[in-house]
Structures are given as structure tokens and as C-alpha cells.
A and B are shown apart, each in its own frame.
Chain A
Amino acid sequence: MHMILNSPWIIPALPLLSFIIVGLFIRPLSPKIAAVVATLSVGCSFLLSLTLAWLFFTGPNPSQLSIPWSFEWLRFQPGLNIQMGFLLDPISAMMLVVVTSVSFLVHLYSMGYMHDDPGYGRFFTYLNLFTFSMLGLVISPNIFQMYVFWELVGVSSFLLIGFYYEKPSAVAASKKAFIVTRFADLGFLVGILLLGFLGYQVQQKLGSSDSLIAGLQSLDFQFLTHPTVLSELSNTGFLAIALVLIYIGAAGKSAMFPLHIWLPDAMEGPTPVSALIHAATMVVAGVYLVARMFPAFSTAPSALEVVSWIGLFTSAFAAIIACTQDDIKRVLAFSTLSQLGYMMFSLGVANLEHPLGYTASMFHLFTHAFFKALLFLGAGAVIHAVHTNDVWDMGGLRKKMPITHATFLIAVLAIAGVWPLAGFFSKDEILTAALEGGHYVHFIGGLAVAGLTAFYMARIYFLTFWGKGRTKATDHAHEAPFVMLLPLLILSVLSISAGWIPFAQYIHPLVQSAQEHSGHHGLNWTVVLSGSSMAAIGLLMSWFLYAQNDFNRVNNWISNFQGLYQVIKKKFYFDEIYLFITHKIIFRLIAGPIAWFDRHAVDGSVNLTGDAVQKSSSIITLIQTGQLQTYGVWFVLGTAVTLIFFWMTLL
């Protein structure tokens, strides 16, 4: 039992091992066995994570950070060593459970969903790689290891989004995702370097007085969240800038505005990928990073402001767009964007004195993982049955796919924030944090988004499952196989029950000085009432418009606001703006000249040396006439010259 506490590296090592063995050896032989091995390895990781979390939270120090395992990887200077290790604290234990559970369920689901795909084995290899990368990210004890796994997660995402590599749209989407996140990671890297530099100076200064600090490295999270260190860092005046740069990286990975463009296109990947990566795990890496660095952000209030406002804006922006999209996966993608915005601004409205937002954000991450994965997997079952993503080609699936319908309904209610499902509790905690922190704009904004969320989720629900079937495919639809239904059922149970976990007792930001946490808050009735009423309004409006027999009301509405509707449906033309900037400006003005320079100047000079040598050699070969007497002339002249040289030396 306690072995897992001593060697917790098994948890990420199992998927890694499985990736290597399945990818190299088993996949070419038997894809079916590959899938089973992959799923089993993640399953074992899941059980071990549960055990670890249980031991941690019921153990003697459930709110202390510890590093049960690490080894030294790079050694630059005494004070700048990079270690690889396993960090165990409340949020990392929670994330371990989330990542492994969702990953396991997605593996199980994929055994049915990807059943007749030629890349079946390859899919499971990539899923394992992703699971390993995400686990490595979550347990990083220093920001450098997190960066390494951050990139690995990006690579896995690239491979999985572009899984259907013969489709040009999938390839373009994977490129877009990778490039946008990579671009954001530039900011992240600069932030890391800046923090490392400043941290090193601070450590040199403080290390003589504090032995704990002297034992840490300047990139360790323990170091970067130490209060004395943080006050020194903020004295340098560059802490806020470094944190904003790091936030750019987080914003890229979590698809905050204006780096959100990759997430809707990422839906080109298979649906289990969308469920795992772009709903439950990878996109929350940015939120996780901010949460990790929360004490640092708290010391630089300007950085926290940036976080909260960008989060709120993204949340509202995405919710508005989601109301007009017709592709079921795109709606879910924008919904993810909106919920991520919630998590971000929840972190932004909190600080170390009022840490409720932190707890609320992590809580929402936890519950969102389950019901969003459920939504995606359910959508996948529907897509599998009717072979189309377009909501307007579905309808009446309530009777054809009863279990999928029931679980999907549970998920919709959860995300809308209906009591007693999970989303209600987490969303209300976020709104409470905003209200009690005095951020009224955030509160009103959050309420409005909650209403919109209920509206568009119910819209999807009604259009898919109610009414009459609109195409032939819906007439032939049948329920999904059991291996796909089981994860749906498990997730729906979690969506119902996860809200009842007393999160605040376990998850709160760690402060080095032992600060007693005030325990579970009581319900704030203002928030409860306003939140629930917004949800109700949204659901009713949606029922009013979409649950009818015909869509005249909808069409009337749309024709009244035709122009605005078109703009929103085109996602405010942001994709076109980005394409314009990249193609016309970056490609033509920057990349074009550079490419010209490379092809003509650099290659040209190399070719020039080659040509010069060739031309000069062809000139020199004119000496070889093949006639003896020509050679004789050269010979005698050479002799004369040699004579002169000899004579010179004798002088």
C-alpha cells in the first residue's frame, strides 16, 4: 500500500511503457491486443492514482506539498539544477485521478468507436503517449519539467488531431493547433527564463539566511511559491511581466482569446480524442499552470487582473458563438472554451487572502472533466450512429438511442448548472467567489454566460434527440455497443455525484506558513437563486425555440437579426483575420523575402563557389592540349623558375 507513496513514478511509467511496447511490438502484429494492453495499462494507472489520492487525502498531511521521488537531470550551476520528479500535493493528486479516469474511460470507449478504422492500433499508441505526457505535466515539481511535458502534450495533440491524415482539413487543423500553441509557448519560455534569472539572483541573496531556500533550485515550484521569495521577486519589478509571459503560454494551451482559434478546428480529430484532450485534460493544463503558480500570481495583482479579464471575455465570447453553430462537436468545443474561461476568471478573482476562487476553479475543472467528456462521448455515439456531425441532419434519436439520450440529458443538465448535479455546485462556487470578492462585473458576466450555456446546450439536445428524424440515416440509427455505453454510464454517475464531494476541505492553495482554512462555506443564496434562475431561463427559451414541431419561430428570429447572426456564426471572422494576417502579412512580407534570400543569396553563394570552381578548372584544362611540345614549354619554363628560386636562396 505504502509502496505507491514511495515509488509513485509507476503511475506515469505504465502508460509510457505501454506506449513503447504497444507501438513498436504489438501494434504491427495484432491491433486488437494492442488496444487491450493499452487500456489495461491506463486502467492500472487509474487504480494506482486512486490509491495514491486516497492515501494522500486520508494521510497525516493532506495539505502539504511533498516530493516523494526525484532525480537530477541537468546540472548547470549549483543553484540551477533541473530535476525530474514527482510532486504530490492536493491539486496534483486530484489531477492524477481526473486524467487517469477519463483516459481509461476514453480508451474503453475507443475500443468500440474506432473499431473498423485502419489506424486502430496507432490510435491507442498515441492515446498512451498522451496519457503519459499529461501525467508527467501534472506531477512536475519544477516549471522546466512542466515545459518539457507541455511540449510533449502538444505533440500528442498534434498527432491525434491529425489522426485522419488523409483529410486535408485534419492536417490543417493539427498544424494550426500546434503552431498556435507553439507560438504561445514562446512567451512561456521567455517567462520561464526570466523567472529563472530573477529567481537565481533572489536565491543567491536569500540562500545564506534560509536553509530551506538554499536547498531549492530557482525553477522549483516550491521556490517560486515561497512567500519570502515572492516578496523579493516582486521587488525587482519584473515579476508581473514574467507572470504575464507565462500566462501567454497558459492562454495558448487553454485556448483563451485571442489564441482560441485552434480549439474549434481541433474537432477534426476523432471524437474520443476531443473528449480526452480537448475537454477534460490537455486544455486544462493552462488552468493547472496558473493554479500551480497561484501564490506568485497573487503577489502580482496586475497579472491576476489580466488572467481574470481574459478569462471572462473568452467565456462570454465563446458562449455567444456557440449559440449559432450547427456542428455538434463545434458547439461542444465552444462550450469548452466558455467553461475554461470560467475556470480562468475564477482563479483571477481570487488571491491568497480570499482563496475561494482557487478552490472553485479546481472544483469546476474536476466536474467539467466528467460531464464534458460525457457530452463528447455521447456526441460520438450519435455521430457513430448517423454518420454526420450536423445537428440539422439529426432528430428523433430519443427513441432510437435511449441510453445515450439519458446520459446526454444528464450531462446537459449538469453543465447548465441544475441542482443536484455536479455543475451546479462548481459553477455556483465560482459565482460566489466573484461576488464575495467584489468583482461585480465578473459576477454579472458569469451569470449571463450561465444562461447562455443552458440555452445552447439545450438547443443541441433538442435538435438531436427530439422531434422527427430529418434524414434517412436517423431512421436506421441504433444504440451504441456496450463497450461504448459503459463509459457513458460511469461518467453520468460521476456527473451526478461529483458535486457532493466536499472539495474545499481538501483543495486550497498551499501557503508555507500554516494558515488554517476556514472550512466549507455555506451556500450563498443570492448566487444559488440567480444562478438557477438563469439556467431555467436558458432552458425554457431553448425549449420554446427548438423543441417544437417546426422551426418557424427560430427562422423568424434569425431573419430578424440576419446580419448579426451571420457575423456570430462566422465566429466574428477571427479565423479569416488570422488567415489574412498570416498569408498576406507574415508570408508575403516576412517569410517571402526571407525565403527569397535563402534561395538566392545563401544557396546562390554556395552554387557560386561550385560554379567558380568548375569554370576555373575548365580554364585550367586548356593547358592540356595533348601535345608533347606544349608540355615541354611548360616544363622548361618551370625549370627556369625553379632555377631562379634556387639562385635566390643562395644569394
Chain B
Amino acid sequence: MLISWVLVSLLLFSLGIYGVLTRRSAVGLLISVELMLNAAALNLVVFNRFLFASRMDGQILTIFVIALAAAEVLIGMAILVMLFRRKKSVDVTQLSQLKH
């Protein structure tokens, strides 16, 4: 049923949120973000299949999402590598220079 699929993707998304808020390592953060993106893409395809079975817009959008996820991971890694070179660690709890 539609609702069970949507709930599954919602659950995956929430797990991704938990990961984002909890991880100390920046790479772990990015992994959790990937999880969230994957859940969103799943949602798109689900709605496409259940409600608009004659069109393929959902899947096309999913292709875009996947492409964007790849781009984002790339840039994220590049920044993390730079950060690691500077501070010798990627612990996000150390990055609090904007503290009041």
C-alpha cells in the first residue's frame, strides 16, 4: 500500500536526521546526508508509481537527485580534505569558532 511505502521512506529519512545530528565525524555526517537523499528519491519513485503510473516524471526527477547527490558528495569531500589538512582532524565538535 502506498502508506506503508511512504512510512518506510519517512523512517529512513528520520534515521538520516538522527545521524546528522549525532555524528562527530564529518564523513559520518555526509554518510547520513546520503541516507536522507536516498530516502527522498525513493519517495519520489513511490508516488510516481502509485498515483501517476502513466508518466515517468518521478523517475526522471530521481535521476536528477542522484546526480546532485554525487555532486554534493564530491564538493563535501573536497572541503573535508582541505579541513583535514588544516586541523588534522574532522571532528565537527571542534568547529565552533562562530560561537558567541
Contact = CB atoms under 8 A, between A and B. Distances in A.
Interface in A608-651: 621-622, 624-629, 632-633, 636
Interface string B62-100: 000000000000000000000000000000110111111
B95 A628 contact: yes
A624 B96 CA distance: 9
A628 B92 CA distance: 7
A624 B22 CA distance: 18
Interface in A555-599: none
Contacts of A624: 98-100
A621 B98 CA distance: 12
Nearest to B97: A626
Contacts of B17: 636
A628 B32 CA distance: 14
A621 B93 contact: no
B99 A625 contact: yes
A633 B99 contact: no
A626 B21 contact: no
Kindly list the 4 A-B residue pairs having the minimum CB-CB distance in the complex, ordered from nearest: A626-B99, A626-B96, A621-B100, A624-B100
Nearest to B93: A627
Interface residues of B, number: 14
Contacts of B99: 624-627
B20 interface: yes
A622 B93 CA distance: 16
A626 B98 contact: yes
B95 A636 contact: no
Nearest to B92: A628
Given A624-B98, A636-B21, 13 more contacts: A621-B100, A624-B100, A625-B96, A626-B95, A627-B92, A627-B95, A627-B96, A627-B99, A628-B29, A628-B92, A629-B21, A629-B93, A633-B21
A632 B29 CA distance: 11
A621 B97 CA distance: 14
Contacts of B100: 621-622, 624, 626
Contacts of A626: 95-100
Contacts of B92: 627-629
A626 B99 CA distance: 4
A629 to B, nearest CB: 5
Interface string B12-36: 0000010011110000010000000
A632 B98 CA distance: 15
26 contacts: A621-B100, A622-B100, A624-B98, A624-B100, A625-B99, A626-B95, A626-B96, A626-B97, A626-B98, A626-B99, A626-B100, A627-B92, A627-B93, A627-B95, A627-B96, A627-B99, A628-B29, A629-B20, A629-B21, A629-B22, A629-B23, A629-B92, A629-B93, A633-B21, A636-B17, A636-B21
Contact of B21 (A621, A622, A625, A632): A632
Interface string B35-75: 00000000000000000000000000000000000000000
Contacts of B22: 629
A484 to B, nearest CB: 77
Contacts of B97: 626
Contacts of B93: 627, 629
Nearest to A621: B100
A241 to B, nearest CB: 68
Nearest to A629: B21
A152 B70 CA distance: 87
Contacts of B29: 628
Contacts of A632: 20-21
A629 B93 CA distance: 8
A644 to B, nearest CB: 16
